Amino acid sequence: MPDAALPLLCPVCCGPLSRAGVGAAAARTLSCASGHSFDAARQGYFNFLVGKGTPFEPDSAAMVEARVNFLSRGHYLPLARAVAAAVVPSLGEHPAVLDSGTGTGHYLRAVLDASAAAGRPAAALGLDISKFALRRAARLNPEALNVVWDVWRPLPLADDSVDAVTVVFAPRNPAEFARVLRPGGRLVVVTPRPGHLNIVADLTGMLGIEESKEDRLGQAMAEHFDTHSAAPVDIPLELSRRDAADLALMGPAGHHSDRESVEARLAGVPEPLQTGARFQVTVFAVR
Protein backbone atom coordinates (compact mmCIF):
# COMPACT_ATOMS: atom_id res chain seq x y z
CA MET A 1 0.00 0.00 0.00
CA PRO A 2 1.63 3.32 -1.00
CA ASP A 3 2.14 5.74 1.93
CA ALA A 4 0.41 8.52 0.01
CA ALA A 5 -2.81 6.46 -0.02
CA LEU A 6 -2.94 6.36 3.77
CA PRO A 7 -0.84 9.08 5.43
CA LEU A 8 -0.04 7.62 8.84
CA LEU A 9 1.30 9.60 11.78
CA CYS A 10 3.83 8.33 14.30
CA PRO A 11 2.00 7.63 17.57
CA VAL A 12 4.98 8.95 19.57
CA CYS A 13 5.94 12.23 17.83
CA CYS A 14 3.09 12.72 15.27
CA GLY A 15 5.58 12.95 12.40
CA PRO A 16 4.82 11.17 9.12
CA LEU A 17 5.24 7.42 9.35
CA SER A 18 6.37 5.44 6.35
CA ARG A 19 7.46 2.00 5.28
CA ALA A 20 11.06 1.29 6.14
CA GLY A 21 13.41 -1.06 4.31
CA VAL A 22 13.01 -2.64 0.92
CA GLY A 23 11.23 -5.69 -0.47
CA ALA A 24 9.40 -7.94 1.99
CA ALA A 25 10.92 -6.09 4.97
CA ALA A 26 9.23 -2.88 3.85
CA ALA A 27 5.82 -4.37 4.47
CA ARG A 28 6.71 -5.22 8.05
CA THR A 29 8.26 -2.05 9.47
CA LEU A 30 6.90 1.48 9.84
CA SER A 31 9.16 4.29 10.98
CA CYS A 32 9.32 8.08 11.28
CA ALA A 33 12.16 10.55 10.65
CA SER A 34 12.83 10.77 14.42
CA GLY A 35 13.66 7.09 14.56
CA HIS A 36 10.50 5.66 16.14
CA SER A 37 9.94 2.31 14.56
CA PHE A 38 7.16 -0.32 14.65
CA ASP A 39 7.48 -3.90 13.48
CA ALA A 40 4.50 -6.00 12.45
CA ALA A 41 3.64 -8.86 14.75
CA ARG A 42 4.02 -12.35 13.32
CA GLN A 43 0.29 -12.36 12.54
CA GLY A 44 0.63 -9.17 10.48
CA TYR A 45 -0.85 -6.42 12.68
CA PHE A 46 1.04 -3.47 14.21
CA ASN A 47 0.89 -2.43 17.87
CA PHE A 48 1.16 1.34 18.35
CA LEU A 49 0.31 1.14 22.06
CA VAL A 50 3.66 -0.29 23.07
CA GLY A 51 5.17 1.05 26.26
CA LYS A 52 2.00 2.84 27.40
CA GLY A 53 -0.46 1.34 29.81
CA THR A 54 -4.16 1.59 29.05
CA PRO A 55 -6.85 1.06 31.72
CA PHE A 56 -9.25 -0.43 29.15
CA GLU A 57 -10.17 -4.12 29.28
CA PRO A 58 -9.85 -5.34 25.68
CA ASP A 59 -12.03 -8.08 24.22
CA SER A 60 -10.54 -11.42 25.20
CA ALA A 61 -9.51 -14.26 22.88
CA ALA A 62 -12.70 -16.12 23.87
CA MET A 63 -14.91 -13.12 22.97
CA VAL A 64 -13.13 -12.78 19.65
CA GLU A 65 -13.58 -16.47 18.91
CA ALA A 66 -17.31 -16.21 19.64
CA ARG A 67 -17.52 -13.21 17.28
CA VAL A 68 -15.72 -15.04 14.47
CA ASN A 69 -17.93 -18.11 14.96
CA PHE A 70 -21.14 -16.11 14.84
CA LEU A 71 -20.25 -13.73 11.99
CA SER A 72 -18.77 -16.49 9.81
CA ARG A 73 -22.21 -18.15 9.73
CA GLY A 74 -23.45 -15.14 7.74
CA HIS A 75 -26.23 -13.99 10.08
CA TYR A 76 -25.27 -10.32 9.79
CA LEU A 77 -24.49 -10.22 6.05
CA PRO A 78 -27.35 -7.79 5.30
CA LEU A 79 -25.75 -5.37 7.75
CA ALA A 80 -22.30 -5.78 6.17
CA ARG A 81 -23.85 -5.02 2.77
CA ALA A 82 -25.63 -1.94 4.14
CA VAL A 83 -22.39 -0.59 5.65
CA ALA A 84 -20.50 -1.15 2.39
CA ALA A 85 -23.29 0.47 0.36
CA ALA A 86 -23.13 3.53 2.63
CA VAL A 87 -19.36 3.85 2.17
CA VAL A 88 -18.93 3.35 -1.59
CA PRO A 89 -20.56 6.64 -2.74
CA SER A 90 -18.05 8.61 -0.65
CA LEU A 91 -14.97 7.08 -2.28
CA GLY A 92 -12.92 9.55 -4.31
CA GLU A 93 -10.03 9.24 -6.73
CA HIS A 94 -7.55 7.80 -4.20
CA PRO A 95 -9.97 5.99 -1.91
CA ALA A 96 -9.06 5.44 1.70
CA VAL A 97 -11.14 4.26 4.65
CA LEU A 98 -10.78 3.88 8.39
CA ASP A 99 -12.65 1.17 10.30
CA SER A 100 -12.52 2.28 13.91
CA GLY A 101 -12.96 -0.57 16.38
CA THR A 102 -12.57 -3.01 13.48
CA GLY A 103 -12.77 -6.08 15.71
CA THR A 104 -12.23 -9.17 13.58
CA GLY A 105 -12.46 -7.04 10.42
CA HIS A 106 -15.79 -8.48 9.26
CA TYR A 107 -17.35 -5.19 8.16
CA LEU A 108 -14.13 -3.79 6.70
CA ARG A 109 -13.94 -6.94 4.53
CA ALA A 110 -17.34 -6.08 3.06
CA VAL A 111 -16.25 -2.47 2.47
CA LEU A 112 -13.03 -3.56 0.74
CA ASP A 113 -14.88 -6.03 -1.49
CA ALA A 114 -17.54 -3.48 -2.42
CA SER A 115 -14.98 -0.76 -3.16
CA ALA A 116 -13.03 -3.15 -5.42
CA ALA A 117 -16.24 -4.23 -7.15
CA ALA A 118 -17.05 -0.55 -7.78
CA GLY A 119 -13.64 -0.10 -9.43
CA ARG A 120 -12.30 2.02 -6.55
CA PRO A 121 -10.21 -0.33 -4.39
CA ALA A 122 -9.62 1.48 -1.11
CA ALA A 123 -6.55 1.71 1.07
CA ALA A 124 -7.68 0.82 4.58
CA LEU A 125 -6.74 1.21 8.21
CA GLY A 126 -8.38 -0.97 10.85
CA LEU A 127 -7.92 0.18 14.45
CA ASP A 128 -8.78 -1.78 17.56
CA ILE A 129 -7.56 -1.94 21.13
CA SER A 130 -7.69 -5.77 21.19
CA LYS A 131 -4.71 -7.57 19.73
CA PHE A 132 -6.73 -10.79 19.77
CA ALA A 133 -9.25 -9.18 17.43
CA LEU A 134 -6.52 -7.77 15.20
CA ARG A 135 -4.89 -11.16 14.72
CA ARG A 136 -8.12 -12.22 13.05
CA ALA A 137 -8.54 -8.92 11.20
CA ALA A 138 -5.02 -9.14 9.78
CA ARG A 139 -5.82 -12.60 8.46
CA LEU A 140 -9.16 -11.57 6.96
CA ASN A 141 -7.97 -8.22 5.55
CA PRO A 142 -4.29 -8.64 4.66
CA GLU A 143 -4.42 -5.69 2.27
CA ALA A 144 -5.42 -3.35 5.13
CA LEU A 145 -3.15 -1.96 7.79
CA ASN A 146 -4.38 -3.32 11.13
CA VAL A 147 -3.16 -1.39 14.14
CA VAL A 148 -3.66 -1.80 17.90
CA TRP A 149 -4.73 1.63 19.11
CA ASP A 150 -7.03 3.33 21.59
CA VAL A 151 -9.52 5.48 19.68
CA TRP A 152 -9.81 7.87 22.62
CA ARG A 153 -6.30 9.04 21.78
CA PRO A 154 -5.41 11.15 18.72
CA LEU A 155 -5.72 8.81 15.74
CA PRO A 156 -2.44 7.94 13.95
CA LEU A 157 -3.67 9.48 10.68
CA ALA A 158 -3.03 12.86 9.03
CA ASP A 159 -5.80 15.46 8.71
CA ASP A 160 -8.15 15.01 5.71
CA SER A 161 -6.81 11.56 4.89
CA VAL A 162 -9.82 9.23 4.46
CA ASP A 163 -13.08 9.29 2.49
CA ALA A 164 -15.03 7.27 5.05
CA VAL A 165 -14.88 6.21 8.66
CA THR A 166 -16.92 3.19 9.73
CA VAL A 167 -17.79 2.50 13.37
CA VAL A 168 -19.74 -0.68 13.96
CA PHE A 169 -20.73 -1.16 17.63
CA ALA A 170 -17.52 0.52 18.74
CA PRO A 171 -16.57 3.71 20.62
CA ARG A 172 -16.87 7.02 18.78
CA ASN A 173 -14.43 9.91 18.91
CA PRO A 174 -16.28 12.54 16.80
CA ALA A 175 -13.57 15.23 16.89
CA GLU A 176 -10.90 12.83 15.65
CA PHE A 177 -13.18 11.28 13.02
CA ALA A 178 -13.92 14.80 11.71
CA ARG A 179 -10.21 15.66 11.65
CA VAL A 180 -9.15 12.62 9.59
CA LEU A 181 -12.08 12.76 7.15
CA ARG A 182 -11.58 14.58 3.87
CA PRO A 183 -14.02 17.37 2.99
CA GLY A 184 -17.19 15.64 1.81
CA GLY A 185 -16.23 12.50 3.72
CA ARG A 186 -18.72 10.26 5.48
CA LEU A 187 -18.94 8.73 8.90
CA VAL A 188 -21.00 5.52 8.92
CA VAL A 189 -22.14 4.45 12.39
CA VAL A 190 -23.97 1.25 13.25
CA THR A 191 -25.88 1.09 16.52
CA PRO A 192 -28.38 -1.41 17.90
CA ARG A 193 -32.00 -0.26 18.29
CA PRO A 194 -34.32 -1.06 21.19
CA GLY A 195 -35.56 -4.64 20.92
CA HIS A 196 -32.31 -5.85 19.35
CA LEU A 197 -32.01 -9.61 20.00
CA ASN A 198 -34.54 -9.25 22.81
CA ILE A 199 -35.26 -12.96 23.33
CA VAL A 200 -31.62 -13.99 23.27
CA ALA A 201 -30.72 -11.06 25.50
CA ASP A 202 -33.30 -12.14 28.08
CA LEU A 203 -32.16 -15.74 27.98
CA THR A 204 -28.46 -15.11 28.26
CA GLY A 205 -28.27 -12.03 30.46
CA MET A 206 -26.94 -9.72 27.73
CA LEU A 207 -27.11 -5.99 28.42
CA GLY A 208 -30.22 -4.26 27.13
CA ILE A 209 -30.32 -1.27 24.77
CA GLU A 210 -31.17 2.07 26.31
CA GLU A 211 -34.18 3.69 24.69
CA SER A 212 -32.51 7.08 24.32
CA LYS A 213 -29.42 5.85 22.49
CA GLU A 214 -30.48 7.03 19.03
CA ASP A 215 -31.05 10.61 20.21
CA ARG A 216 -27.75 10.62 22.04
CA LEU A 217 -25.88 9.53 18.91
CA GLY A 218 -27.02 12.58 16.95
CA GLN A 219 -26.30 14.91 19.86
CA ALA A 220 -22.80 13.54 20.34
CA MET A 221 -21.99 14.04 16.66
CA ALA A 222 -23.67 17.42 16.19
CA GLU A 223 -20.59 19.53 16.87
CA HIS A 224 -18.74 18.09 13.87
CA PHE A 225 -21.29 16.33 11.65
CA ASP A 226 -24.66 16.73 9.96
CA THR A 227 -26.88 13.67 9.73
CA HIS A 228 -27.06 12.64 6.09
CA SER A 229 -29.33 9.61 6.47
CA ALA A 230 -30.48 7.07 9.03
CA ALA A 231 -31.89 3.73 7.98
CA PRO A 232 -33.01 0.70 9.95
CA VAL A 233 -31.60 -2.72 9.09
CA ASP A 234 -33.75 -5.44 10.60
CA ILE A 235 -32.67 -9.06 10.24
CA PRO A 236 -34.96 -11.92 11.30
CA LEU A 237 -32.84 -14.64 12.91
CA GLU A 238 -33.36 -18.33 13.53
CA LEU A 239 -30.60 -19.39 15.86
CA SER A 240 -29.22 -22.59 17.27
CA ARG A 241 -28.33 -22.60 20.97
CA ARG A 242 -24.69 -22.44 19.85
CA ASP A 243 -25.40 -19.29 17.80
CA ALA A 244 -27.15 -17.75 20.78
CA ALA A 245 -24.23 -18.54 23.09
CA ASP A 246 -21.76 -17.02 20.61
CA LEU A 247 -23.94 -13.92 20.31
CA ALA A 248 -23.99 -13.46 24.06
CA LEU A 249 -20.27 -14.09 24.50
CA MET A 250 -19.09 -11.83 21.65
CA GLY A 251 -20.61 -8.71 23.22
CA PRO A 252 -19.98 -6.83 26.47
CA ALA A 253 -21.50 -9.74 28.44
CA GLY A 254 -18.42 -11.75 27.38
CA HIS A 255 -16.35 -9.67 29.81
CA HIS A 256 -18.17 -11.13 32.81
CA SER A 257 -19.63 -14.48 31.79
CA ASP A 258 -18.10 -17.68 30.47
CA ARG A 259 -19.36 -20.17 27.89
CA GLU A 260 -20.31 -22.71 30.52
CA SER A 261 -22.69 -20.42 32.37
CA VAL A 262 -24.25 -19.08 29.15
CA GLU A 263 -24.76 -22.61 27.83
CA ALA A 264 -26.32 -23.62 31.15
CA ARG A 265 -28.86 -20.78 30.81
CA LEU A 266 -29.71 -21.93 27.28
CA ALA A 267 -29.97 -25.65 28.07
CA GLY A 268 -33.42 -26.98 27.22
CA VAL A 269 -34.43 -23.91 25.18
CA PRO A 270 -36.09 -25.24 21.99
CA GLU A 271 -34.27 -24.65 18.71
CA PRO A 272 -34.41 -22.65 16.57
CA LEU A 273 -34.61 -19.55 18.74
CA GLN A 274 -36.49 -16.94 16.79
CA THR A 275 -35.41 -13.39 17.35
CA GLY A 276 -34.47 -10.31 15.39
CA ALA A 277 -31.44 -8.11 15.05
CA ARG A 278 -32.44 -4.45 14.96
CA PHE A 279 -29.77 -2.06 13.77
CA GLN A 280 -29.56 1.50 12.65
CA VAL A 281 -27.07 2.62 10.02
CA THR A 282 -26.54 6.36 10.35
CA VAL A 283 -24.50 8.25 7.79
CA PHE A 284 -23.01 11.56 8.90
CA ALA A 285 -21.51 14.18 6.61
CA VAL A 286 -18.49 16.02 7.96
CA ARG A 287 -19.22 19.71 8.26
Ligand X SMILES: C[S@@+](CC[C@H](N)C(=O)[O-])C[C@H]1O[C@@H](n2cnc3c(N)ncnc32)[C@H](O)[C@@H]1O
Residues that bind Zn ion (CB under 5 A): 10, 12-13, 15, 32, 34, 36
Q: Is 44 left (phi over 0), alpha (psi -120 to 50) or beta?
A: left
> Which string of DSSP letters, residue by residue, matches 42-67?
TTS-EES-TT------PPPHHHHHHH
Angle among Cα 5, 20, 48 to the nearest 5 degrees reads 75
What secondary structure letter does DSSP report for 188?
A: E
Residues in the chain, how many? 287
Q: Which does 34 bind (CB under 5 to 8 A by kind): Zn ion, ligand X, none?
A: Zn ion
Q: Which of 107, 177, 279, 284 binds ligand X (CB under 6 A)?
A: 107
Q: Which does 217 bind (CB under 5 to 8 A by kind): ligand X, Zn ion, none?
A: none
Nearer to Zn ion, 15 or 154 (CB): 15
CB of 24 to ligand X, least distance (A): 29
Cα–Cα dist 268/21, whole Å? 58
User: End-to-end CA distance of the chain, in Å?
Assistant: 29
What secondary structure letter does DSSP report for 191?
A: E
CB of 64 to ligand X, least distance (A): 8
Q: Which does 151 bind (CB under 5 to 8 A by kind): Zn ion, ligand X, none?
A: ligand X
Half-sphere exposure of 77 (CA within 13 A, CB side): 5
CB of 267 to ligand X, least distance (A): 26
Q: Which of 124, 135, 150, 192 binds ligand X (CB under 6 A)?
A: 150
151 binds ligand X (CB under 6 A): yes
CB of 216 to Zn ion, least distance (A): 36
The pair phi, psi for residue 54, each rounded to 5°, is -135, 130
Q: Which of 9, 48, 122, 130 binds ligand X (CB under 6 A)?
A: 130
174 binds ligand X (CB under 6 A): no
Q: Which of 66, 124, 129, 281 binds ligand X (CB under 6 A)?
A: 129
Secondary structure (3-state) at 217: helix
Question: Contact residues for ligand X (CB under 6 A)?
Answer: 56, 58-59, 67, 101-104, 106-107, 127-130, 133, 150-152, 168-171, 251
